[in-house]
Amino acid sequence: MAETLYRKYRPARFKDIRGQEHVTRTLRGALMLDRVAHAYLFAGPRGTGKTTIARIFAKALNCENLKEGEPCDKCSTCQAINESRSVDIIEIDGASNRGIDEIRNIKEIARVASSQNRFKVFIIDEVHSLTKDAFNALLKTLEEPPAHVKFILATTEPHKLLPTVLSRVQRFDFKKLSLAEIIDKLKHIVRSEKISAETDIFHIIATNAEGSLRDAESSLAKLISVSGTAITLDQAKDILGFIPTDQYAKALDLILAKDQSGGIKMINDLYVSGVDLSLFTDGLINFSRKIIIAKAVDSPKESLGDEFLDDHLQYVEKIANTVESADLIKIINRLIQVRHDLKTSPIPQLPLELAIMDLAI
Ligand SMILES: Nc1ncnc2c1ncn2[C@@H]1O[C@H](COP(=O)(O)OP(=O)(O)O)[C@@H](O)[C@H]1O
Ligand SMILES: [Mg+2]
Ligand SMILES: [Zn+2]
């Protein structure tokens, strides 16, 4: 199910891409004017559409009925690319094919024009993982590519790329998707699959996905595979490890009331009930940040937009009235330390217990 959902809802045309308008608009414009660069770099977080847009662009470059920069998705060329049958679209995973031989291979394939298509398109994923030699070989090809060749390089870690590469590509920075964009697509999938789900479920999935539509879609797939055609909020919370907002409010209340024993009991109760303490720490940092923002601005809902669950707002405003920003800053800094300590602590509860003892005095 996870696999089919993911494939089934991979956008086939630019118009189906959520967000990333700065990318799709520019690419379509270049296609319409026939002013396509010879190499592009798609940089940005995972699950935001880099591979998807690279494939749509490859289709558009070779489509027989291109209209306003949009591939038709019906001609034999578009279909061959959709089914990964086209020999002229070459996808290389830089993380597993890191060596110079693969890049020499690219050069060899690139040399000869295609007999069927206008362009050969190389999509090199995780390009920062290539070895130094492979990189240098790639650079040579990027310098003077044959006119019938286009490169699309993709990476989640653009800071690892050499300036020599950056200067030879047109770069697009992909953005994390907003909660609203993720929720919108999840709702679309649920409608198409004829599944019933309470509205809050979308919010929980989207918050957990941290801007990645791929992660959101696989969480939804997981829920559907467990719950079938009717997903309940309780199942969603359970499966996705959702921590209710009142738990964050309670933790802050205990710290501010300097209730060390109450705080330590709470941490241990959470641990015993199976809560992931690093998720809890992240959530508590995020919750505290919202309170600071609520104290600083007139309308937190407007400043943070869809980052604010309505459910949060009621707690945030209440605590914001009773706490000093300086105390919150201290709490947040101490919790950031906890995040690091959790990775190496022999006892999972210990870093949070120590933080409570520091903060609640
Ligand atoms: N911007 C987007 N709009 C619509 N769907 C998206 C978008 N980004 C990701 N997805 C969904 O997530 C899946 C994985 O996206 P992908 O393009 O492979 O991400 P990336 O290459 O950036 O890691 C796609 O099949 C699609 O269903
Ligand atoms: Mg990808
Ligand atoms: Zn087509």
| Residue boundaries of the structural domains of the chain | 2-173, 179-240, 245-359
Span from the CA of 25 to the centroid of ligand 2 (angstroms) = 20
Band of residue 140 on the pLDDT scale cut at 50, 70, 90: confident
Band of residue 111 on the pLDDT scale cut at 50, 70, 90: confident
Span from the CA of 296 to the centroid of ligand 1 (angstroms) = 35
The CATH number of 2-173, from 3.90.180.10, 3.40.50.300, 3.40.718.10, 3.30.2320.30, is: 3.40.50.300
Q: Which atom of ligand 1 is nearest the CA belonging to 48?
A: 8
What's the pLDDT score for residue 254?
Answer: 95
Span from the CA of 272 to the centroid of ligand 2 (angstroms) = 37
Ligand 1, atom 17, residue with closest C-alpha: 49
Q: Which atom of ligand 1 is nearest the CA belonging to 20?
A: 1
Q: Which atom of ligand 1 is nearest the CA belonging to 53?
A: 17
What one-character DSSP code corresponds to residue 75? S
199 vs 71, residue with greater confidence:
71
What separation in angstroms does the CA of 74 have from each of 81, 119, 134, 152? 11, 18, 37, 23
Span from the CA of 213 to the centroid of ligand 3 (angstroms) = 26
Residue whose C-alpha is closest to residue 255's, from 312, 327, 310, 185? 327
Span from the CA of 51 to the centroid of ligand 2 (angstroms) = 4
Instruction: Express each pLDDT in 236-255 by its tens digit.
Output: 888 887 787 889 999 999 99
Minimum-distance ligand to the CA of 53? Answer: 1
Residue among 91, 156, 188, 214 whose CB has most ligand 1 atoms within 8 A, to mutate = 214
Measured CA to CA, the distance from residue 322 to residue 93 in angstroms comes to: 53
Span from the CA of 338 to the centroid of ligand 1 (angstroms) = 32
Q: Name all residues whose Cβ lies below 6 A of ligand 1.
A: 6, 9-11, 17-20, 46-52, 185, 213-214, 217
Residue among 4, 21, 213 whose CB has most ligand 1 atoms within 8 A, to mutate = 213
**Summary count for the chain: helices (H), strands (E):** 18, 7
Ligand 1, atom 26, residue with closest C-alpha: 10
The CATH number of 179-240, from 1.10.8.60, 3.40.1190.10, 3.30.420.10, 3.40.1160.10, is: 1.10.8.60
- Whether the pLDDT of residue 306 is over 60: the answer is no
Question: Which residues have a Cβ under 8 Å from the Cβ of 75 and sit 6 or more positions away?
Answer: 63, 64, 65
What separation in angstroms does the CA of 258 have from each of 114, 126, 251, 277, 280? 72, 48, 11, 21, 20
Minimum-distance ligand to the CA of 55? Answer: 1
- Whether the pLDDT of residue 310 is over 70: the answer is no
Q: Which atom of ligand 1 is nearest the CA belonging to 125?
A: 21
- Whether the pLDDT of residue 3 is over 60: the answer is no
Residue whose C-alpha is closest to residue 306's, from 207, 233, 162, 159? 207
What CATH architecture applies to the domain 245-359?
Up-down Bundle (1.20)
What's the pLDDT score for residue 244?
Answer: 78
- Whether the pLDDT of residue 130 is over 70: the answer is yes
Q: Which atom of ligand 1 is nearest the CA belonging to 18?
A: 3
Residue 151 φ then ψ, to 5°: -115, 135
- Whether the pLDDT of residue 14 is over 90: the answer is yes
Span from the CA of 306 to the centroid of ligand 2 (angstroms) = 26
Residue among 16, 46, 52, 188 whose CB has most ligand 1 atoms within 8 A, to mutate = 52
Question: Which residues have a Cβ under 8 Å from the Cβ of 205 and sit 6 or more positions away?
Answer: 182, 186, 216, 219, 220, 223, 236, 240
Domains 2-173 and 179-240 share a fold: no
Least confident of 169-178, 196-205, 322-331, 342-351: 196-205
Q: Which atom of ligand 1 is nearest the CA belonging to 7?
A: 25
